[in-house]
Chains A and B, each alone.
Chain A
Amino acid sequence: MSAVRATRRRRYLFDRDGVLAPMMLLPSVVYIVALVAVPFFLAIAYSLSDVTVGDPSFDYVGLRNFRAVLKDPVFRRSLTNSIFITAVTMVLVLVLAKILALVLTRDFRGKWGVRFLILLPWTTPVPLAAIAWLWMLDSLFSPIDWTLRRLGLLEGNLHWLGNSKLAVASVITVQVWRIVPLAAVIIMAGLAAIPQDINDAAEVDGAGFWRKLFEITIPLTLPVTAVATLFGAVLVFTDMSVVYVLTRGGPVDATQILPTWAFFRGIQGGDLAQGAAVALFLFPLLLAMAVLILRSVRRMEVL
């Protein structure tokens, strides 16, 4: 009797949440634990050790690497650059993306083509896009320089990537250029989610363009804007391809950021321990960004 019931119960195994749910979740969890959690803790272990490519034996050295890293002026430059570049990029992205999203929700001729062109920067693999910019900013043949020369505003060349201020500006420009479409598209989804009645009501209530923008549209798209900011900021903050392709961190570390510096130290320099220590500095900053933004989303969640 009870044996029969047992087999019957087994037959219905795939109906039981308690069995099915962990089973379905398992592959993803195993994958992520093995290749994200393990290397993450390994990175922490490395940062507390003296592991190098040449001498992979593990010796605990405490916080020595962090002390060394913090004393290193190049690291400090990288840290401030990372924060500065991300912050400036995101401010520009937010303003431009909001405008672009509003523009793209309007009707105009040739919309499909325009949308295609505007999305190009986002859909192009970043290293290749950076290559296109590298050629735009070429020290001799930059078409920007040529245009300025033609207009009589410039003699010779600007050396975009050779001048430390211009190099930082160039990195920011490329980041803004590639993130704006993504942010705009996310904000557009938020705009589309505003019921048409609300827009109509605002118009009937006598609100003009600006009042509608600041009192209705922007407040109602704040949560989705915050999401766009989070995604964009993480993308900019952790990207190394733009800097690597454009400047390799130069001139003289003027555009060095945390990911590139970790790469040059850890992989090219072979000092795994110090590289790991540099890279780990990304984490608390990312965490702070995420918490800050998600908390403000929750506070603004009104719908």
Chain B
Amino acid sequence: MAIVEVRHLTKKFEGNATFAVDDLDLATTEDEYLVLLGPSGCGKTTLLRLIAGLEQPTSGEVLIGGEPMVGLPPRARKIAMVFQSYALYPHKTARKNIEFPLKASGMEPGDRAKKVEWAAELLGITRLLDRRPRHLSGGERQRVALARALVREPDVFLLDEPLSNLDAKLRATARDDLKQFQDRVGTTTIYVTHDQVEAMGLGDRIAVMSEGRIRQLGTPHEVYHDPADTFVATFLGSPPMNIVERDDVLVGFRPESLLPKGVVEPDDDAVSVPFSVHRVENLGSERHLVGTVSGIGADTRVIAMLPSTVSVEVPVDETAEFVIRGADLRFFDKDTGGRTARRRL
């Protein structure tokens, strides 16, 4: 229901030489699910806290719904936030937790109760309402935290790594719940994570951050297939994009693009490369072939990823002919790491 925008936003913490957030520009679209993705220490949480008003910027502007927000405390911003730890008030029951923001806004007790019931029902936690947080499981706490954020009907949701405290199994279902939740609520959401699977699965768009700057802003498809620079290329994907040095450029290709000859239909620009396999890791759904590729540029250790549907024998310590389609090659400037023009190999 509101667009969040930051302009030339800069944050420098006292005693730190570097900028946590460095002259950053970013704007969401209406009702968008925007994911801030980056390694720890890249400034993504600081950016979120600046938007929330929990930190004051060194310079720059924060706008929510077109209104300048700098200088306003969090409570004047019509935002709701879910913290990494969920930050449930330990001395209050789930009901009191969810009710708290409503009480702060001066709503009548009767209306408050109705609102809490509504949010609890939406998140399926009605039967948990009279428990204290310490008697709730991780997943249940997350739902209570979401309900607490929801009842305020904020203009913007801010979520700070809400899944990182859950174990791996729970995380998949929780991610599903989060997505459904957002689809239903349809409010602009900014979601911080260091987990690319979450980012790819949840985001309408992903902003990949490092060192206080946005390296690339695009749809999951764009950031994966058309990375703006080598940082994005190697941060996303597991295993990451292979990079081979050739004269003044870096040539990149995804592990799944390096396939044995005969498995793929080569296009016009396809390159055929000798690939010497050192080791094979069979992961069940796929095989990782670790080896040295030559013929593109300098001999480089790369990884090829074969889906289990490709059953070609790949003998270890022998060289086989592999193919990369021209459309799957990406070129980066050797000095800046940024994308450069496609060229023939």
Residues on A close to B: CB < 8 A? 195, 197-198, 200-208, 211, 215-216, 219-220, 300, 302-303
Q: Are A206 and B152 in contact (CB under 8 A)?
A: yes
Tell me how far the C-beta of B48 lies from the nearest C-beta in chain A, rounded to whole angstroms.
11
Q: Are A216 and B85 in contact (CB under 8 A)?
A: no
Residues of A with C-beta under 8 A to B80:
204-205
A200-B54, A204-B52 given; 9 more Cβ-contact pairs under 8 Å: A200-B74, A201-B81, A202-B89, A202-B100, A204-B81, A204-B158, A207-B100, A211-B103, A220-B90
Q: Are B54 and A203 in contact (CB under 8 A)?
A: yes
28 A–B pairs (Cβ distance < 8 Å), ordered by A: A195-B87, A197-B84, A197-B87, A198-B87, A198-B89, A198-B90, A200-B52, A200-B74, A200-B81, A200-B83, A201-B81, A203-B53, A203-B73, A204-B52, A204-B74, A204-B81, A205-B100, A206-B74, A206-B101, A206-B105, A207-B100, A208-B75, A211-B104, A219-B91, A220-B89, A220-B91, A302-B134, A303-B91
A/B pair count, beta carbons within 8 Å: 72
In the A-B complex, the 4 residue pairs with the closest CB atoms = A197-B87, A201-B87, A206-B104, A205-B101
Q: Is B132 an interface residue (CB 8 A)?
A: yes
B85 contacts which of A195, A215, A300 (Cβ < 8 Å)?
A195
Residues of A with C-beta under 8 A to B88:
201
Given contacts A205-B104, A206-B152, A207-B100, contact A200 B87 (CB under 8 A): yes
Given contacts A195-B85, A197-B83, A201-B81, contact A207 B104 (CB under 8 A): yes
Residues of A with C-beta under 8 A to B49:
200
Residues of A with C-beta under 8 A to B85:
195, 197
Q: Is B143 an interface residue (CB 8 A)?
A: no
Residues on B close to A: CB < 8 A? 49, 52-54, 73-75, 79-81, 83-91, 100-101, 103-105, 132, 134, 148, 152, 158
Q: Which of A198, A202, A204 has the most CB of B within 10 A?
A: A204
Query: Complex Cα distance A215/B87, Å?
Result: 14
Query: Complex Cα distance A202/B87, Å?
Result: 9
Given contacts A208-B104, A211-B104, contact A203 B75 (CB under 8 A): yes
Tell me how far the C-beta of B310 lies from the nearest C-beta in chain A, rounded to whole angstroms.
47
| Closest chain B residue, CB of each to CB of A199 | B87
Residues of B with C-beta under 8 A to A220:
89-91
Tell me how far the C-beta of B86 lies from the nearest C-beta in chain A, rounded to whole angstroms.
8
| Closest chain B residue, CB of each to CB of A203 | B74
Q: Are A207 and B54 in contact (CB under 8 A)?
A: no
Residues of A with C-beta under 8 A to B100:
202, 205, 207, 215
Residues of B with C-beta under 8 A to A302:
90-91, 132, 134
Query: Complex Cα distance A200/B48, Å?
Result: 12
Query: Complex Cα distance A215/B252, Å?
Result: 56
| Closest chain B residue, CB of each to CB of A205 | B101
Query: Complex Cα distance A206/B52, Å?
Result: 12
Tell me how far the C-beta of B102 lies from the nearest C-beta in chain A, rounded to whole angstroms.
9
| Closest chain B residue, CB of each to CB of A303 | B90
Given contacts A215-B100, A302-B132, A303-B134, contact A204 B79 (CB under 8 A): yes
Query: Complex Cα distance A220/B91, Å?
Result: 7
Query: Complex Cα distance A205/B73, Å?
Result: 11
Q: Are A204 and B91 in contact (CB under 8 A)?
A: no
Query: Complex Cα distance A198/B52, Å?
Result: 14
Query: Complex Cα distance A197/B48, Å?
Result: 13
Residues of A with C-beta under 8 A to B54:
200, 203-204
Residues of B with C-beta under 8 A to A206:
74-75, 101, 104-105, 152
B83 contacts which of A201, A208, A215 (Cβ < 8 Å)?
A201
Residues of A with C-beta under 8 A to B73:
203
Residues of A with C-beta under 8 A to B90:
198, 220, 302-303
Residues of B with C-beta under 8 A to A200:
49, 52, 54, 74, 81, 83, 87
Tell me how far the C-beta of B237 lies from the nearest C-beta in chain A, rounded to whole angstroms.
32
| Closest chain B residue, CB of each to CB of A201 | B87
Query: Complex Cα distance A106/B88, Å?
Result: 23
Residues of A with C-beta under 8 A to B52:
200, 204
Q: Are B83 and A205 in contact (CB under 8 A)?
A: no
A205 contacts which of B91, B132, B152, B158 (Cβ < 8 Å)?
B152
| Closest chain A residue, CB of each to CB of B81 | A204
Tell me how far the C-beta of B107 lies from the nearest C-beta in chain A, rounded to whole angstroms.
11
Q: Which of B85, B91, B101 has the most CB of A within 10 A?
A: B91
Residues of B with C-beta under 8 A to A195:
85, 87
Tell me how far the C-beta of A59 lies from the nearest C-beta in chain B, rounded to whole angstroms.
57
Residues of A with C-beta under 8 A to B101:
205-206
Query: Complex Cα distance A219/B104, Å?
Result: 17
